[in-house]
Chain A
Amino acid sequence: MLGEAVPRKEDIRLITGRGLYVEDVQLPGMCYAAFVRSPYARADVLKVDKEAALAVPGVIGVFDGSEWPELRARLPELNGSVTLTSPYIDHINIPHHHLFSRRASYVGEQVAVVVAESPYAAADGVAAIEAEYQPLPAVATWQAAMTPNAPRVHDGFDNVVAHLKHRVGDIEAAFAAADIVIERRLETQSLKCMAIECRAVAAQWDTTTGTLNVWTTGQFPYMTRGTVAGVLGLPEEQVRVIARDVGGGFGLKGVLYAEDVIISVLAYHLRRPIRWAETRNEHMISSNHSGNQAHDVRIAAKSDGTVLGLDLKLYKEVGAYDHFDMMLQINTVNHLTTHYKVPALEIEGWAISTNTPPGSPYRGAGRVEAVFTMDRVLDAIARETGLDPLEVRSRNIVTPADMPYRNGQIYRDGVPVEYHDIDFPLLLNKAAACVDYRGWRDRQKDLRAQGRHVGIGIGSYVEAGGLGPCEGSTVKIDAQGRISVFVGVNSQGQGHETTLAQVCAHALGAKFEDVSVFGGDTRLMNFGFGTGASRVAVNSGNAVLRATGTVRRKVTNLASRILGCTEDEIVINDSVVSVAGARQNFMTLGELAARSVRDRHMIDLGGPGLNATEFFYPNTVVWGSGVNIAVVEVDTQTGAVTILKYVVVHDCGLPLNPLVVEGQISGGFAQGLGIALGERLVFDDDGQVLTGSLMDYFMPRASDVPEIEIEHVVFPTNDNPLGIKSVGESAPNAPGAALSAAIEDALEGRINITSLPVTRSKILTALRTI
């Protein structure tokens, strides 16, 4: 079962149109919300005149935070759950983020909410609101925010809301010993996650159970529960948060939004079910973005291409409210050296507020920026020394002989980073062989003679995944032999209902068809953390393994007493429990479960029923890794980039389900392609979004995505019993670096690519200079 490419269980309801996404929640008496949003990036909200809106047919009410104290609550300071403090941070001072504020700090910030009998009437209500604002000077870029005397994003707070420093080795000595010193300013764009499903929340105060039901598109249901319960003064068990089917998350839904809490509060007070669904335009303008990032990099290297040291100044836009302390920057720092040895590091980083929506992780969460930096650095060294970029990498790569390897980084959980159970040279060499690196190098000259500009580029990434603190699982067998696996996380497409069922079926000896996984419902487990940071397979997977193991021990114990044998003689296969060598002596799991309800033997086995709840606490993160190599052709007349060949070699440890793994890579690659060649969120100097719809925000279509070749390297880790690493945030990381390098190489290094995305306009502009 483990490692088998089984088609997914969750597919059937999804392909027959019976998924339950938040906007599908339809309840009797339901009303609908629409938000009034600030048209200014920074403004005092002087007045919200509700009169005209209240007169619109179908409008039930207009709320601006003055109605109930709960609407003046704050969102949790840091994003709760998976964000941990880091020893790098030496300063942090973040303003509070209130549900409604009299001072708007970004275009799109909620100012009031209209509730109506239909979504159409709610939109009419919003259109009828007469709001008065006093616009104030705003800063829309981190550069503007850091200029002396820049307007403050928040009164009383510096625009630099957090700062970090980290040092490894002796950076001064590194630069003193350098033959080569290279300086670069590298920039990466801000992105929207662009899940096809936008955000949505529905809430209902269920008088029949005294429960507030909240349906969310969020990735962290327990954080939603905790905050809503806290704001309303309810015990957490009276708030049930459900995230059954979510149409893609990618990090942007991994934060608690004001709307989640506001809708819950309204449902509680209005005593009517209420639903809000974001429009795409609203998504482009008011939902979180990943934030622009810039690196000032100085590299010290020897003339043989070996890296001596790297000095990095890291500027990260965190938007109007920072919910992630310096998580994204810390990820960049901790992923920075990827596969390579950098003996000395000097890093300083700033988290800078701007009058733009709050920053959120977007799949990769700082890793893309790290990969882009390290690979551009190595390519720059190649350029300087005349060495082939592959050779430069080989000279700097961390080898198995160096393992376990500590690069001086400390992960966000406080544990020093250590690479082990990885073979970087294998990945690099395999990728080179697979793409036929030498062959393309040989062909390049002939192609150039024919007037064709073909180039090769390498991107190498690491991916820390499986971050704690932990996840849990409950496994239960019922009298019909159905096995239920409860987890404290929800899926946004990752296939949990299948992969976790595979783990359970495998560990128990049950039929795969008999196992059903349930997640995304805070009723199921007391504690859960969430889906993000590529953590579910490791945490929930191993929790399912442990819980199943405990259930299995109950099974063997009880069965041995009933069937009259020793525990070692018990065989469980295809949901049947039998005695080795006497297979006619058997019971089904269901029959055993039925017996276990009243059987007194259970007194030593934790009580009635064949069930167990276990948690898995990882020691620290696991490291997936991979190499991408791209071969591209650049049309110098039109700036078009054609990908001739693209290879992904990756190691995610043991793949639970190769179909799911390849799907993650294929989808992640498309996102990486978007990051590399065109996706970007653009604001003007007044903080207005210029890429406010799909008319201006590029997203790859089927005709944009080339075929790629995926090679799996399976190097199971000893860090967890399943031997799995992570894969969720692996594929978007390297295309930016690989494609930039390939495009530069195609133009024989006559242009310098230092920013993402590499748009056609950037290529045409660069071509005009050569």
Chain B
Amino acid sequence: MFPAAFEYHRPTTLDEALALLDEFGDNAKLMSGGHSLIPSMKLRLIQPEHLIDLGSIDALKGIRLEGDAVVVGAATTHWQVESSAEVKAALPLLCEVAGVIADPQVRNRGTMGGSLANSDPAADWPATAVALDAELVCRSKSGERLIEASEWFQDLFATALMDGEILCAIRFKRLPPRTAATYQKLPHPASRFALVGVSAAVTVDEAGNCIKARVGVTGVHKHAVHARAVEQALAGQPFIPDVIASAAAVADHGLDIGSDIHFLEEDRRELCRAYVERALKQIHQRLLDGDFQSK
């Protein structure tokens, strides 16, 4: 309940933050919304000597449209995404995801950058970042790096972020016409993280054949990951119920799923398949309704 003592820094520019990171190295932690970090500190699971609060750096905030991409500042809160009219118009899937993260109070503080940098295997944003092949923009003293989402998430709570680097923004390419998408989440009964979370977007041609299926899952692997077997089973096929069912049936292939005190491996595999199916059926309905991601 009571964190260990630390020194607090609140840089106002990215360069200041990078300099502090450089100075304190392993003894420092970056803080964005703080809603993963502070709980860990309260339980003394981590005890950084220095905390670098990114909350005053304008360069990390804001959502903007850049050509065909929606660029979300890493320090953008989930609520800001959820309530953004711009995002709702350009890539409404993001609003749908934001609205089911944790609870309203957490959504007011937690940030997309914080979530992605933490790589909790049951967090919500990672599934969408992976599904949409988002690009993560990182800055260090040596310059800027772009990392693709599926390379970003490497292991439990481990990402491609390097020492001395700060995640600055996340670029989501807008989806093509005739694409419907959804995020289907089964909240864990206790933690309310995703027991399974499926972020999916399917583009079809005029005949209803799947041109591209993008399916990202969270909660069922050591980090968010493409459900490649599903994507491959759908590609080029008519996007119809039978095909959807077959694709969903292989949703758990290639996923490293374990058991814990709440759910057995087989439970999770079944739920993964069920929720992929749910997501695909929802997309199917949205395509019929003309409820596309790009208007």
Q: Do A and B share a direct contact in the complex (Cβ within 8 angstroms)?
A: yes
Interface residues, chain A, with chain B CB atoms under 8 Å away: 119-120, 122-124, 127, 279-281, 637-639, 678, 682, 690-691, 694-699, 701, 759-761, 764-765, 768
Contact (Cβ within 8 A) B2 A123: yes
Contact (Cβ within 8 A) A120 B190: no
Contact (Cβ within 8 A) B44 A127: yes
CB-contact partner of B189 in A122, A124, A698, A768, under 8 A: A698
Contact (Cβ within 8 A) B191 A696: yes
State which of B7-15, B19-27, B213-221, B259-267 sits at the interface with chain A.
Answer: B259-267
**Smallest Cβ-Cβ distance to B44: which chain A residue:** A127
Q: How far is the CA of A701 from the CA of B190 in the complex (A)?
A: 10
18 contacts between A and B (CB under 8 A): A119-B1, A124-B2, A124-B4, A124-B5, A279-B1, A638-B271, A678-B189, A691-B190, A695-B190, A695-B191, A696-B191, A696-B261, A696-B262, A701-B192, A761-B263, A764-B264, A764-B267, A765-B266
State whether the Cβ of B144 lies closer than 8 Å to any Cβ in chain A: no
Chain A residues closer than 8 Å to B271, beta-carbon distance: 638-639, 764
Contact (Cβ within 8 A) A281 B2: no
Contact (Cβ within 8 A) A765 B264: yes
4 smallest CB-CB distances across A and B, nearest first, come from: A123-B2, A279-B1, A695-B191, A698-B189
Q: How far is the CA of A701 from the CA of B262 in the complex (A)?
A: 18
Contact (Cβ within 8 A) B267 A123: no
Contact (Cβ within 8 A) B190 A759: no
Nearest Cβ in chain B — how far from A9, in angstroms?
31
Given known A-B contacts A281-B1, A694-B190, A698-B190, A764 and B266 have beta carbons under 8 A apart: yes
Chain A residues closer than 8 Å to B274, beta-carbon distance: 637-638
Q: How far is the CA of A280 from the CA of B190 in the complex (A)?
A: 15
State whether the Cβ of B186 lies closer than 8 Å to any Cβ in chain A: yes
Q: How far is the CA of A760 from the CA of B263 in the complex (A)?
A: 8
Chain A residues closer than 8 Å to B266, beta-carbon distance: 764-765, 768
Given known A-B contacts A637-B274, A696-B191, A691 and B1 have beta carbons under 8 A apart: no
Chain B residues closer than 8 Å to A695, beta-carbon distance: 190-191
Contact (Cβ within 8 A) A682 B261: yes
**Smallest Cβ-Cβ distance to B271: which chain A residue:** A638
State whether the Cβ of B156 lies closer than 8 Å to any Cβ in chain A: no
State whether the Cβ of B59 lies closer than 8 Å to any Cβ in chain A: no
Contact (Cβ within 8 A) A760 B4: no
State whether the Cβ of B85 lies closer than 8 Å to any Cβ in chain A: no
Nearest Cβ in chain B — how far from A120, in angstroms?
5
- Determine which residue in A122, A682, A699, A760 has the highest number of CB atoms from chain B within 10 A of its CB, and name it: A760
Chain B residues closer than 8 Å to A701, beta-carbon distance: 192
State whether the Cβ of B270 lies closer than 8 Å to any Cβ in chain A: yes
- State the main secondary structure of chain A at its contact with B: loop
Chain A residues closer than 8 Å to B240, beta-carbon distance: none
Nearest Cβ in chain B — how far from A92, in angstroms?
34
Q: How far is the CA of A120 from the CA of B1 in the complex (A)?
A: 9
Chain B residues closer than 8 Å to A638, beta-carbon distance: 186, 270-271, 274-275
Contact (Cβ within 8 A) B2 A120: yes
CB-contact partner of A697 in B43, B190, B270, under 8 A: B190
Q: How far is the CA of A279 from the CA of B3 in the complex (A)?
A: 13
Q: Scoring B residues 29 to 43 as 1 if CB is less than 8 Å from chain A, else 0, what string do you get?
A: 000000000000001
Nearest Cβ in chain B — how far from A453, in angstroms?
15
Interface residues on B, range: 20 to 34
Contact (Cβ within 8 A) B267 A639: yes
Contact (Cβ within 8 A) A765 B267: yes
**Smallest Cβ-Cβ distance to A282: which chain B residue:** B1
- Which residues from 252 to 295 on chain B have a C-beta closer than 8 Å to any C-beta of chain A? 261-264, 266-267, 270-271, 274-275, 277
Q: Scoring B residues 157 to 172 as 1 if CB is less than 8 Å from chain A, else 0, what string do you get?
A: 0000000000000000
Contact (Cβ within 8 A) B270 A764: yes
Q: How far is the CA of A28 from the CA of B3 in the complex (A)?
A: 25
Nearest Cβ in chain B — how far from A281, in angstroms?
7
Chain B residues closer than 8 Å to A123, beta-carbon distance: 1-2
Contact (Cβ within 8 A) A759 B43: no
Q: How far is the CA of A768 from the CA of B264 in the complex (A)?
A: 12
Chain A residues closer than 8 Å to B191, beta-carbon distance: 694-696
Q: How far is the CA of A47 from the CA of B192 in the complex (A)?
A: 41
Q: How far is the CA of A407 from the CA of B271 in the complex (A)?
A: 47
New A-B pairs, 14, CB < 8 Å, besides A638-B271, A691-B190, A764-B271: A124-B2, A280-B1, A637-B270, A637-B277, A638-B186, A639-B271, A678-B190, A682-B261, A691-B261, A694-B191, A697-B190, A760-B267, A765-B264, A765-B266
Q: Scoring B residues 41 to 63 as 1 if CB is less than 8 Å from chain A, else 0, what string do you get?
A: 00110000000000000000000
Q: How far is the CA of A682 from the CA of B192 in the complex (A)?
A: 19
Q: Scoring B residues 108 to 119 as 1 if CB is less than 8 Å from chain A, else 0, what string do you get?
A: 000000000000
Chain A residues closer than 8 Å to B44, beta-carbon distance: 127
Chain A residues closer than 8 Å to B186, beta-carbon distance: 638
Nearest Cβ in chain A — how far from B188, in angstroms?
8
Q: How far is the CA of A695 from the CA of B188 in the complex (A)?
A: 9
**Smallest Cβ-Cβ distance to B263: which chain A residue:** A761
Q: How far is the CA of A697 from the CA of B191 in the complex (A)?
A: 8
Q: How far is the CA of A765 from the CA of B267 in the complex (A)?
A: 7
Q: How far is the CA of A691 from the CA of B262 in the complex (A)?
A: 10
Chain B residues closer than 8 Å to A760, beta-carbon distance: 189, 263, 267
Q: How far is the CA of A695 from the CA of B267 in the complex (A)?
A: 19
**Smallest Cβ-Cβ distance to B1: which chain A residue:** A279
Q: How far is the CA of A379 from the CA of B101 in the complex (A)?
A: 41
Nearest Cβ in chain B — how far from A194, in angstroms?
11
Q: How far is the CA of A768 from the CA of B268 in the complex (A)?
A: 13
Q: How far is the CA of A638 from the CA of B278 in the complex (A)?
A: 10
Contact (Cβ within 8 A) A759 B1: no
Q: How far is the CA of A756 from the CA of B272 in the complex (A)?
A: 25
Q: Scoring B residues 180 to 214 as 1 if CB is less than 8 Å from chain A, else 0, what string do you get?
A: 00000010011110000000000000000000000
Contact (Cβ within 8 A) B190 A127: no
Q: How far is the CA of A122 from the CA of B1 in the complex (A)?
A: 11
Nearest Cβ in chain A — how far from B35, in angstroms?
13
**Smallest Cβ-Cβ distance to A34: which chain B residue:** B2
Nearest Cβ in chain B — how far from A124, in angstroms?
7
Chain B residues closer than 8 Å to A279, beta-carbon distance: 1
Nearest Cβ in chain B — how far from A128, in angstroms?
11
Chain B residues closer than 8 Å to A696, beta-carbon distance: 190-191, 261-262
Q: How far is the CA of A123 from the CA of B44 in the complex (A)?
A: 10
Chain A residues closer than 8 Å to B267, beta-carbon distance: 639, 760-761, 764-765
Nearest Cβ in chain B — how far from A504, in angstroms?
42
Q: How far is the CA of A637 from the CA of B189 in the complex (A)?
A: 17
Q: How far is the CA of A695 from the CA of B5 in the complex (A)?
A: 25
**Smallest Cβ-Cβ distance to A701: which chain B residue:** B192
Q: How far is the CA of A678 from the CA of B191 in the complex (A)?
A: 12
Nearest Cβ in chain A — how far from B207, in angstroms?
29
Chain A residues closer than 8 Å to B5, beta-carbon distance: 124
Chain A residues closer than 8 Å to B277, beta-carbon distance: 637
**Smallest Cβ-Cβ distance to B277: which chain A residue:** A637
Q: How far is the CA of A127 from the CA of B186 in the complex (A)?
A: 37
Chain A residues closer than 8 Å to B4, beta-carbon distance: 124, 127
Nearest Cβ in chain B — how far from A18, in angstroms?
23
Nearest Cβ in chain A — how far from B264, in angstroms?
6
Nearest Cβ in chain A — how far from B140, in angstroms?
33
Chain B residues closer than 8 Å to A759, beta-carbon distance: 189, 262
Chain B residues closer than 8 Å to A764, beta-carbon distance: 264, 266-267, 270-271
Contact (Cβ within 8 A) A119 B189: no
Given known A-B contacts A123-B2, A279-B1, A281-B1, A761 and B264 have beta carbons under 8 A apart: yes
Q: How far is the CA of A698 from the CA of B266 in the complex (A)?
A: 21
Chain B residues closer than 8 Å to A281, beta-carbon distance: 1, 43
Nearest Cβ in chain A — how far from B39, in angstroms?
9
- Determine which residue in A123, A279, A678, A761 has the highest number of CB atoms from chain B within 10 A of its CB, and name it: A761
**Smallest Cβ-Cβ distance to B43: which chain A residue:** A281
- Determine which residue in A678, A682, A694, A764 has the highest number of CB atoms from chain B within 10 A of its CB, and name it: A764
Nearest Cβ in chain A — how far from B122, in angstroms?
10
Q: How far is the CA of A281 from the CA of B266 in the complex (A)?
A: 30
Given known A-B contacts A678-B189, A691-B261, A697-B190, A119 and B270 have beta carbons under 8 A apart: no
Q: How far is the CA of A280 from the CA of B274 in the complex (A)?
A: 35
Q: How far is the CA of A124 from the CA of B47 in the complex (A)?
A: 12
